[in-house]
């Protein structure tokens, strides 16, 4: 099958490369000339394990190509995926759909033969209908279901595990309004039938809601265990044992019950907020999700106080070593990362911050400028620091040489916001060790 993927951001690039790897012929289209030139040279603009090889192999095999020319990209395609950005609009938290609508107009003008236009970006409930209306306006000669169809096919990729998530998903969700679109999407995902991946076909609006419901539910699960962690600290219970104790109940499930500094990233914060707004607009407020948004924001803001407390209640003149700035390991993404709340708060409290992240140093500079010191490695960050804080659980922070750390730090103080180390063992070794909910 021949398809076009509009937008070479995270979702577009990963999906495009994976569809090509399935054997389809994929043209990735982006307006950003510089980005396309870099991709043509084999440079991958984002950090995602395995993506560089996947892109290179499929370009080499002639199944994957890049262009800035949409007309070129759309030649002979059976489906066009819209995977452009949908940032939160400043002020009201609504998803900004201007890129989606602009892409739709351009696509509409170029439709030549039956084409399924698929929204892959996370778009608010009802966007599919809007996209269909735009196409009809631009092309009154085309009828939905005959000249074109608009489908919804949300993605559930996790950064850092995106390729595996794409190729071995728990399920694929496709929202369609007619059989023709259903056939095209079935064909596109045929390679997944081999490993018996459930393909859930629904109406378009339902598919749009599934994406938001899934992310809001996961964000709720995390927020729930984070609140349990706070309660554990008060009553002397262990949140990890609580998570295991409830998670073994199959109705609850053990995943996404890891307490930490609050969720971040490009999806949960944006999608929970968008769902809250949509629900309010339709007069069916989602109060639980509203609370989740509020509780999580407050949680991220409250983490710096733990560092202050561990440092004896005053950070002025103290040096804090920070390990991990990305919102989670295996990504350079810092969008809504807890570090964006924690680091500036430490600086405001008078601390000198020495930070290291294996991939996000470039991103970090854009946020923190020269307010902190950027270190080449974990141990360099620890040099002369009074407190060590672990914000992101990168593998390389999971087995630190604590003897060496002890020599480098001025005091044996660790604030571990990801519960990497066993508290009893740390206490035995003489560390003043603070973690989450234990």
Residue reference for tokens 């509009």: 6
Q: Is the dihedral of CA 253, 254, 255, 256 positive or negative?
A: positive
Return the range that interacts with ligand UDX (CB under 6 A); candidates 46-54, 185-193, 214-222, 302-310.
Answer: 214-222
Q: How far is the CB of 335 from ligand UDX (least distance, A)?
A: 9
Figure out which of the listed residues 66, 99, 268, 374 binds ligand UDX, where binding follows CB under 6 A: 268
Residue 257, annotated as binding a ligand: yes
Closest Cα to residue 420, out of 391, 380, 383, 385? 391
- Distance (Å) of CA 22 to CA 74, 86, 356: 19, 27, 37
Nearer to ligand UDX, 138 or 214 (CB): 214
327 touches ligand UDX by CB under 6 A: yes
Return the range that interacts with ligand UDX (CB under 6 A); candidates 87-95, 151-159, 273-281, 353-361.
Answer: 151-159
Closest Cα to residue 104, out of 82, 125, 85, 120? 82
Q: How far is the CB of 213 from ligand UDX (least distance, A)?
A: 12
For the annotated catalytic residues, the residue numbers are 267
Token pair listed for 124: 């608010």
222 touches ligand UDX by CB under 6 A: yes
Instruction: Report whether 214 contacts 186 (CB < 8 A).
Output: no
- Distance (Å) of CA 24 to CA 3, 21, 65, 159, 355: 7, 7, 11, 23, 43
Q: How far is the CB of 122 from ligand UDX (least distance, A)?
A: 8
Figure out which of the listed residues 21, 30, 159, 359 binds ligand UDX, where binding follows CB under 6 A: 159
With H, G, I as helix, E, B as strand and everything else as coil, classify residue 130: helix
175 touches ligand UDX by CB under 6 A: no
Rounded Cα distance, 32 and 42, in Å: 15
Task: Give 323-350 as a DSSP string.
Answer: E--SSSTT----TT-THHHHHHHHHHTT
Q: How far is the CB of 121 from ligand UDX (least distance, A)?
A: 11
E-only strand ranges, 176-263: 199-202
257 touches ligand UDX by CB under 6 A: yes
CB atoms < 10 A from the CB of 408, how many? 18
Token pair listed for 342: 């924690």
Residue 127, annotated as binding a ligand: no
Figure out which of the listed residues 7, 16, 128, 264 binds ligand UDX, where binding follows CB under 6 A: 264
Residue 275, annotated as binding a ligand: no
Residue 331, annotated as binding a ligand: no
Return the range that interacts with ligand UDX (CB under 6 A); candidates 15-23, 41-49, 264-272, 361-369.
Answer: 264-272
Residue 335, annotated as binding a ligand: yes
Residue 35, annotated as binding a ligand: yes
Token pair listed for 67: 């262009």
Residue 86, annotated as binding a ligand: yes
First-to-final CA distance of the chain = 53
Q: Per the annotation, where are the binding residues?
A: 30, 35, 86, 122, 156-159, 211, 256-260, 264, 270, 328, 335
Contact residues: ligand UDX, CB under 6 A: 155-159, 215, 218, 222, 256-258, 260, 263-268, 327-328
Q: Per the annotation, where are the binding residues for substrate?
A: 156-159, 211, 256-260, 264, 328
């Amino acid at each position: 099958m021949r398809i076009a993927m509009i937008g070479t951001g995270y979702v577009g690039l990963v999906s495009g490369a994976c569809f090509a790897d399935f054997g389809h012929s994929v043209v990735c289209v982006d307006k950003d000339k510089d980005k396309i030139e870099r991709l043509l040279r084999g440079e991958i603009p984002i950090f995602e394990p395995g993506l560089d090889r996947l892109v290179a192999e499929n370009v080499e095999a002639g199944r994957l190509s890049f262009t800035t020319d949409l007309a070129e990209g759309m030649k002979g395609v059976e489906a066009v995926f819209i995977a452009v950005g949908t940032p939160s609009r400043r002020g009201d938290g609504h998803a900004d759909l201007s890129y989606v609508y602009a892409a739709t107009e351009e696509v509409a003008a170029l439709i030549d033969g039956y084409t399924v236009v698929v929204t892959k970006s996370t778009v608010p409930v009802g966007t599919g209908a809007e996209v269909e209306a735009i196409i009809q306006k631009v092309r009154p000669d085309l009828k939905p279901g005959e000249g074109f169809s608009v489908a919804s096919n949300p993605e559930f990729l996790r950064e850092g595990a995106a390729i595996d998530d794409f190729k071995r998903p728990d399920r694929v969700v496709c929202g369609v309004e007619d059989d023709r679109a259903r056939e095209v999407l079935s064909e596109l995902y045929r390679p997944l039938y081999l490993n018996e991946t459930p393909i859930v076909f629904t109406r378009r609006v339902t598919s749009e809601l599934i994406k938001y419901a899934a992310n809001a539910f996961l964000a709720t699960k995390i927020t729930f265990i984070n609140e349990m962690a706070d309660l554990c600290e008060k009553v002397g219970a262990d949140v990890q044992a609580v998570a295991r104790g409830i998670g073994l109940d199959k109705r609850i499930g053990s995943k996404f019950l890891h307490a930490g500094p609050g969720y971040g990233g490009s999806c949960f914060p944006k999608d929970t907020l968008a769902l809250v707004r949509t629900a309010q607009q339709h007069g069916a407020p989602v109060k639980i999700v509203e609370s989740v948004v509020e509780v999580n924001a407050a949680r991220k803001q409250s983490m710096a106080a733990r560092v202050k407390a561990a440092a004896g209640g005053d950070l002025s003149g103290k040096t804090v070593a920070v390990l991990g700035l990305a919102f989670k390991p295996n990504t350079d993404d810092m969008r809504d990362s807890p570090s964006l709340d924690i680091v500036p708060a430490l600086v405001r409290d008078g601390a000198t911050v020495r930070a290291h992240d294996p991939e996000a140093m470039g991103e970090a500079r854009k946020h923190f400028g020269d307010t902190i010191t950027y270190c080449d490695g974990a141990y360099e960050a620890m040099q002369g620091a009074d407190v060590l804080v672990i914000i992101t659980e990168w593998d390389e922070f999971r087995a630190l040489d604590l003897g060496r750390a002890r020599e480098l730090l001025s005091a044996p103080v660790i604030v571990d916001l990801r519960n990497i180390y066993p508290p009893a063992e740390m206490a035995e070794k003489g560390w003043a060790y603070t973690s989450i909910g234990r």
